[in-house]
């Protein structure tokens, strides 16, 4: 089985698309006819371009509204098909993709469909071509793949096969076990497309929301297993209609598509080792599984003039400076099992990052029992590694570029159980709070880290966290901002130690958009810490650094929930937010922003969500503060 992608998946003209597909190392390409119609060069030139790029033209597509038309229309349809055969000859492809008829003029006759497709297959055979028949989920009479298969099976022509498309199958909710009835040599092509589960018109769903495997919610692993059990050995090809893909750089999209196929192959190989022989270039070798435990440290890029403001926030939150780096101008602030690194090293990656973004998170480190294995996964999926200068006696920590250009480190304890700060840092001789007059706080660990990203990065970010980190990706949800909508997804590890919501917005004035404007791009917008005493933490931070919450919120809160008077008074006093569900309760607060970044402190009591019911309150309060400044 080889890998392919349809030109409809990508932005740009046909030359740019072919170049992107070649750059991403696909074996083949499907030519969407509209791309050819709009191109200034001849089909013969397109053929030469693909040959020069090392690509097969897998198919020309789509040929629409052919079968079961009134008799007077069929002569024109056959003439039209002959013209397509001429075009295929110039292109150097041997397969024509036929979609099931959607015309209101179509006749509801299985016998006619069989006869029409048989005659067309006969004509294709004389020209040395093959036909692939695909059931569109919105077809006039043929909507399901089993109906299409029944027509192909009954026609019983050597040059006619069925095309199986995961979107059209899953959008109809069909049983994948029915694929087992189809011999692999009667499958002309397999097209793969994921999508979020949406309750909407299926054509609109298809035209705007398809995505690569791993970016949506369809059970793509089960689909691939069913396909491989048929013995199919042809192309596996992306056919994705998506607004983001149409507006994103075509090379980046093509690379993500390749990553998704590699991931899908790995997942099938791991789940069903006996099927590995049907997959390309696997040779039975599996990547190490994703193995991240928790957030090891969060690193901020600062400079001497800007670090005081951040240190004030950290000190109020209860962090103290515990270590400094052996050889670099880097400080470590710790509390509970939370490590915050402040990097002021000149002529470093952090300094370059600061010059672009200001005070910002320039790196996140995750602990893992297999740092080498995580580096192998990153290389396999084409995520670029980052090399840094390491002095003698310091840890060599594998690193890659992550979202917004920041670094992602994979940190592994040594055999003695030493942490990164035991090796690369020196403990402060006298560890004491910067503000000893304030009450001791009670922060325990990093609860979640929120990324603010662009619209064009939303699906790519889903793929990054799923295929590299092995995180579970939740369905998108809308958060109501006073100035628009913020769309949010969450990436969560099985042990719940790594939680990464990521947000995007098309609204210029929303919280996410404002952050990206201040930050000059995508990055970490919000860091949340857990605590065991939310009131002590709030008292320590102080109202001058906390996000003020309007009184109307608390009036509504008391109307919605039965709260004890003492709790209600404390919530109001400390600007605390509250939520409860069938699982438990949450109390939390937010700080004011520093260069668009803010902190959250929360106390969970068997509560698994993120307090998203309070997101609109937080975003409104932030917008109000921004407006007053």
CATH number (domain holding residue 319): 3.10.180.10
CATH number (domain holding residue 82): 3.20.20.150
One domain, residues 419 and 457: no
Average pLDDT of the residues in 39-53: 96
Interval 544-556: pLDDT, tens: 999 999 999 999 9
pLDDT for 413 beyond 90:
no
pLDDT for 490 beyond 90:
yes
- Name the nearest CA neighbour of 431 among 337, 339, 333, 345: 333
Note if the bond before 414 is cis, omega within 30 degrees: no
Rounding to the nearest 10 degrees, give the CA dihedral for residues 193, 197, 202, 205: -70
Output the pLDDT for position 168. 96
H helices then E strands: how many in the chain?
21, 25
Using the 3D structure, point to which of 219, 250, 278 is the last residue of a domain. 278
One domain, residues 603 and 486: yes
One domain, residues 321 and 190: no
One domain, residues 56 and 147: yes
Domain assignment present for residue 435? The answer is no
- Name the nearest CA neighbour of 492 among 330, 292, 257, 268: 292
∠ at Cα 356 (344, 250), nearest 5°? 130
Output the pLDDT for position 280. 53
One domain, residues 133 and 274: yes
One domain, residues 255 and 359: no
CA distance 88 to 60: 7
CA distance 121 to 130: 7
Using the 3D structure, point to which of 372, 397, 427 is the last residue of a domain. 427
Interval 529-541: pLDDT, tens: 999 999 999 999 9
- Name the nearest CA neighbour of 136 among 188, 100, 173: 100
If DSSP codes are grouped into helix, strand and coil, which group holds residue 329?
A: coil
- Sheet containing 425-427: order of strands: 399-401, 407-411, 360-367, 294-301, 338-343, 330-335, 320-325, 425-427
Output the pLDDT for position 438. 52
pLDDT for 437 beyond 70:
no
One domain, residues 98 and 225: yes
If one counts the domains in the chain, the total is 3
Q: Which percentage of the chain shows pLDDT scores above 70?
A: 95
pLDDT for 574 beyond 80:
yes
Domain assignment present for residue 175? The answer is yes
Interval 448-476: pLDDT, tens: 999 999 999 999 999 999 999 999 999 89
Q: Which residue has the tokens 């310091």?
A: 394
> Is the CB of residue 132 less than 8 Å from the CB of residue 98?
yes
From first CA to last CA, the distance across the chain in angstroms is 60
CA distance 530 to 520: 29
Domain assignment present for residue 434? The answer is no
One domain, residues 47 and 159: yes
Q: Please report which confidence band the pLDDT of residue 444 belongs to, taking 50, 70 and 90 as the band edges.
A: very high
Average pLDDT of the residues in 183-201: 95
Output the pLDDT for position 50. 97
Using the 3D structure, point to which of 427, 451, 485 is the last residue of a domain. 427
- Name the nearest CA neighbour of 159 among 127, 188, 131: 131
pLDDT for 441 beyond 80:
no
Please give the residue range of the domain that contains residue 580: 443-628
Structure tokens at 438: 């304030």
Domain assignment present for residue 524? The answer is yes
Domain assignment present for residue 71? The answer is yes
One domain, residues 128 and 34: yes
pLDDT for 195 beyond 70:
yes
Q: 439 — alpha (psi -120 to 50), left (phi > 0) or beta? A: beta
- Output DSSP code: residue 358: S
Structure tokens at 412: 């592994």
CA distance 134 to 117: 12
One domain, residues 52 and 135: yes
CA distance 192 to 533: 49
One domain, residues 498 and 614: yes
Mean per-residue pLDDT over the chain, rounded: 92
One domain, residues 315 and 259: no
Output the pLDDT for position 448. 97
- Name the nearest CA neighbour of 413 among 449, 452, 371: 371
Residue ranges with strand state E in 87-205: 95-99, 130-134, 160-165, 187-192
Task: Report strand pairing: 484-492 vs 499-504.
Answer: antiparallel
Domain assignment present for residue 370? The answer is yes
Domain assignment present for residue 559? The answer is yes
Average pLDDT of the residues in 509-526: 96
- Name the nearest CA neighbour of 58 among 9, 14, 12, 7: 7
Q: Which residue has the tokens 């438990």?
A: 584
Interval 77-131: pLDDT, tens: 999 999 999 999 999 999 999 999 999 999 999 999 999 999 999 999 999 999 9
Output the pLDDT for position 442. 80
CA distance 536 to 316: 11
Domain assignment present for residue 285? The answer is no
Average pLDDT of the residues in 57-77: 95
């Amino acid at each position: 089985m080889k890998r392919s992608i349809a030109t409809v998946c990508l932005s740009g003209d046909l030359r740019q698309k072919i170049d992107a597909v070649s750059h991403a190392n696909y074996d083949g390409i499907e030519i969407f006819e509209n791309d050819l119609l709009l191109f200034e060069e001849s089909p013969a030139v397109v053929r030469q371009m693909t040959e020069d790029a090392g690509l097969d033209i897998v198919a020309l597509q789509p040929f629409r509204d052919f079968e079961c038309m009134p008799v007077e229309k069929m002569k024109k349809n056959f003439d039209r098909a002959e013209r397509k055969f001429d075009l295929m000859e110039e292109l150097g492809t041997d397969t024509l993709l036929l979609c099931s008829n959607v015309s209101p003029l179509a006749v509801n006759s299985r016998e006619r469909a069989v006869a029409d497709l048989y005659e067309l297959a006969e004509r294709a055979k004389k020209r040395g071509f093959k036909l692939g028949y695909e059931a569109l989920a919105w077809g006039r009479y043929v909507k399901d793949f089993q109906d299409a298969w029944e027509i192909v099976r009954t026609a019983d022509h050597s040059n006619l096969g069925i095309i199986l498309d995961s979107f059209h199958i899953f959008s109809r909710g069909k049983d994948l076990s029915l694929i087992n009835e189809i011999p692999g040599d009667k499958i002309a092509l397999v097209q793969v497309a994921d999508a979020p589960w949406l309750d909407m018109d299926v054509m609109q769903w298809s035209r705007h929301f398809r995505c690569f495997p791993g970016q949506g919610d369809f059970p793509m692993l089960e689909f691939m297993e069913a396909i491989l059990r048929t013995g199919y050995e042809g192309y596996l090809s992306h056919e994705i209609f998506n607004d983001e893909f149409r507006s994103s750089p075509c090379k980046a999209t093509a690379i993500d598509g390749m990553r998704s196929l590699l991931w899908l192959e790995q997942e099938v190989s791991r789940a069903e080792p006996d099927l590995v022989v049907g997959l390309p270039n696997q040779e039975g070798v599996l990547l190490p599984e994703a193995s991240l435990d928790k957030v090891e440290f969060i690193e901020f890029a600062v400079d001497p003039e800007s670090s005081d403001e951040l240190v004030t926030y950290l000190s109020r939150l209860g962090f103290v400076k515990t270590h400094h780096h052996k050889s670099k101008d880097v400080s470590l602030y710790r509390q509970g099992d939370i490590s915050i690194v402040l990097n002021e090293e000149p002529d470093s990656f952090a300094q370059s990052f600061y010059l672009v973004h200001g005070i910002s998170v320039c790196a996140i480190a995750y602990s893992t029992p297999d740092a080498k294995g995580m580096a192998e996964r990153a290389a396999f999926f084409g995520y670029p590694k980052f090399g840094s200068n390491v002095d003698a006696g310091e840890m060599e920590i594998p690193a890659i570029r992550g979202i917004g250009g920041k670094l992602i480190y994979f940190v592994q304890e040594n055999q003695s159980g030493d942490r990164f700060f035991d090796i690369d840092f020196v403990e402060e001789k006298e560890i004491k709070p910067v503000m000893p007059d304030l009450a001791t706080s009670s922060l325990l660990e990093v609860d979640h880290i929120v990324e603010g990203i662009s619209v064009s990065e939303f699906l790519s970010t889903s793929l990054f966290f799923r295929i590299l980190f092995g995180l579970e990706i939740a369905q998108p949800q809308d958060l109501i901002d006073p100035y628009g909508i913020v769309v949010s997804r969450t990436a969560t590890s099985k042990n719940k130690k790594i939680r990464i919501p990521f947000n995007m917005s098309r609204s210029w004035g929303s919280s996410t958009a404002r952050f990206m404007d201040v930050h000059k791009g995508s990055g970490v917008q919000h860091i949340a810490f857990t605590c065991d005493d939310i009131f002590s933490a709030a008292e320590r931070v102080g109202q001058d650094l906390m996000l003020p919450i309007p009184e109307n919120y608390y009036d509504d809160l008391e109307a919605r929930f039965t709260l004890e008077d003492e709790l209600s008074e404390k919530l109001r006093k400390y600007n605390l937010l509250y939520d409860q569900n069938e699982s438990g309760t949450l109390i939390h607060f937010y700080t004011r922003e520093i260069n668009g970044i803010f902190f959250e402190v929360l106390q969970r009591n068997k509560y698994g969500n993120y307090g998203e019911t309070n997101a609109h309150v937080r975003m409104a309060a932030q917008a109000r503060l921004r407006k007053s400044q």
